[in-house]
């Protein structure tokens, strides 16, 4: 069995490393991969970017790839799973619609509220003046989140109003996150330990994983 892993980070390195331990796996391609994946047994880096969906699908088809595993959020949000499925290729990851939970913080918050899932109180804003006025009204600490994908850098836990104001200026005025910062979630600060709880699902059955933490 040949497997294609899409991505270039430590997550994709871990996926390739673990998948290579399966005796049924004969070869793993990582696109584009990194220096670490290049050193792993059975693994070959491929010079295709994670967002080049057509090139990735063509590679998978022409190299008899049995399964593609997608790591990064950007290609998932761009619809790589939908695209591969349209081409008759087997792929693991959420479809574009489901990936919105990760790609848009506002969408995720709206979904949690609609489903009755406990979440920190929040408000959405599309301009600096309104968001800044709200921050000054609520005070600090407070959390500022660029709505879209920002490579893990879109969240500021502001301990002072000034910090919050600066974060809003960077997002709305300096436009440091581009389109990802066109909308902002301003969220209630909750003190405590953060953990991620993940599960696999086919739409009917849920298989939970162990909890984990970002560092």
Domain regions of the chain by residue span: 2-101, 104-188
- pLDDT for residue 38: 95
- pLDDT for residue 191: 93
pTM exceeding the 0.85 threshold for the entire prediction: yes
CB 211 within 8 A of CB 195: yes
Per cent of the chain over pLDDT 90 is 93
- Buried/exposed code over 91-127 (b: 16+ C-beta within 10 A; e: otherwise): bebbeeeebbeebbbbebbeeeeeeeeebeebebbee
| CA separation for the pair 122, 142 (Å, rounded) | 10
For residues 140-154, give the mean pLDDT. Answer: 94
Local confidence band at 214 (pLDDT 50, 70, 90 cut-offs): confident
What's 104-188's CATH class?
alpha beta
Q: Is the pLDDT of residue 152 over 90?
A: no
| CA separation for the pair 140, 189 (Å, rounded) | 8
Is it true that 2-101 and 104-188 share their CATH fold? Answer: no
- pLDDT for residue 203: 85
- Buried/exposed code over 135-164 (b: 16+ C-beta within 10 A; e: otherwise): beebebbbbbbbbbbbeeebebebeebebb
pLDDT in tens, 82-97: 999 999 999 999 999 9
Record: fold of 2-101:
Rossmann fold (3.40.50)
CB 111 within 8 A of CB 132: no
Q: Is the pLDDT of residue 202 over 80?
A: yes
Average pLDDT, the chain: 96
């Amino acid at each position: 069995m040949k497997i294609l892993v899409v991505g270039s980070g430590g997550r994709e390195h871990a996926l390739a490393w673990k998948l290579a331990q399966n005796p049924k796996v004969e070869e793993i391609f990582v696109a584009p991969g990194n220096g670490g994946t290049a050193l792993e047994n059975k693994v070959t880096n491929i010079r295709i970017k994670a967002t080049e969906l057509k090139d990735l699908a063509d590679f998978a088809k022409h190299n008899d790839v049995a399964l593609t595993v997608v790591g990064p959020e950007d290609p998932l949000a761009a619809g790589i799973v939908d695209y591969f499925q349209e081409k008759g290729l087997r792929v693991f990851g959420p479809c574009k619609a489901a990936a919105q939970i990760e790609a848009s913080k506002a969408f995720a918050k709206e979904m949690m509220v609609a489903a009755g899932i406990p979440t920190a109180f929040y408000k959405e804003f599309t301009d600096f003046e309104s968001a800044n006025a709200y921050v000054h009204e609520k005070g600090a600490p407070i959390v500022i989140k660029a709505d879209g994908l920002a490579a893990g850098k879109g969240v500021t836990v502001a301990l002072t109003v000034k910090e919050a104001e600066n974060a809003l200026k960077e997002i709305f005025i300096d436009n440091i996150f581009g389109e990802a910062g066109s909308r902002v979630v301003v969220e209630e600060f909750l003190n405590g330990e953060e953990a991620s709880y993940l599960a696999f699902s086919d739409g009917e059955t849920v298989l939970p994983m162990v909890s984990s933490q970002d560092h």
